[in-house]
Amino acid sequence: MSSELSFIDLFIEASLLVQLVMLTLLAMSVVSWAMIFQRIKVLGSAETQAKKFEDRFWSGVDLAKLYNEVAARANPQTGLESLFKSGFKEFSRLRNHPTGDSEIILAGTHRSMRVALSREVETLETNLSFLATVGSISPYIGLFGTVWGIMNSFIALGEVRQATLSMVAPGIAEALIATAMGLFAAIPAVIAYNRFSHKVEKLENSYANFMEEFSNILHRQAATMTATTKAG
């Protein structure tokens, strides 16, 4: 085998099936990297937005005023803003109902926020399943290409009278590239999936904690409202 033999040469000399395997792995790697950069942006923005909104929420601003600020924005609400808007909107609607009991109000408000939380987590987890799939199946796809390439090399070897290393080495090298490409696609995908899953879990816990704290505030307001109504 010539020492000048490059990756392109090995790809060109490989069998059609091994070439298809390599192209598949390359495509999976490119798509997974695009998703990795997109998730970095989305999750980073979610963390920043959550911290900014929490600072505003706990600054002592009136909740009705904060709701009007959030609802007036042209962009769709996400993260904690979405939870707050859903919860306060439902709380205000049930509070004005003639038969509005504090427990009914809080139960409806909590359900509304749970739905918003589920939607936000689903948005944060977008594309994570694809990264997990790439990380799990890429090595096997590469191994399949390697096995096929080595099998063809030994079949060709059996058709000659005298075998030499220079006859076998190129075919084996072509086959092993498929495994290398499988690992190249899988390793970043697995690392990114684990990292993003941890971030999503942290954000989900942060959202859930905010939801419970917000529910406690609304519970106090509902209890005060009920007591005032009874006293009147």
pLDDT per residue as tens digits for the range 126-169? 999 999 999 999 999 999 988 888 887 777 777 666 666 666 67
pLDDT, position 52: 92
- String of b and e for 91-117 (b: at least 16 CB within 10 Å)? beebbeeeebebeebbebbbebbeebb
All residues at 6 or more sequence positions from 176 whose CB lies less than 8 Å from its CB, including other chains: 146, 149
Q: Write down the pLDDT at residue 2.
A: 45
**pLDDT at residue 165, as a whole number:** 62
Domain locations along the chain: 7-231
Rounded CA-CA distance 97/99 in Å is: 6
Q: Quick check: 191 pLDDT over 80? A: yes
Say how many C-beta atoms besides its own lie within 10 A of residue 227's C-beta.
Answer: 11
User: At a CB cut-off of 8 Å and minimum separation 6, what does 99 contact?
Assistant: none
Would you say the pTM of this structure is higher than 0.85? no
Q: Say if residue 227's pLDDT is above 60.
A: no
Question: The tokens 């950069």 sit on which residue?
Answer: 37
pLDDT digits (tens, 9 = 90+) for 15-56: 788 889 889 999 999 999 999 999 999 999 999 999 999 999
How large is the average pLDDT for residues 174-191? 90
Nearest-angstrom CA–CA distance, 118 and 113: 9
Q: What local confidence, expressed as pLDDT, does residue 62 receive?
A: 87
For 48-96, the pLDDT digits (tens) are: 999 999 999 898 888 889 888 888 887 778 888 999 999 998 888 877 7
pLDDT digits (tens, 9 = 90+) for 2-24: 445 566 776 777 778 888 988 99
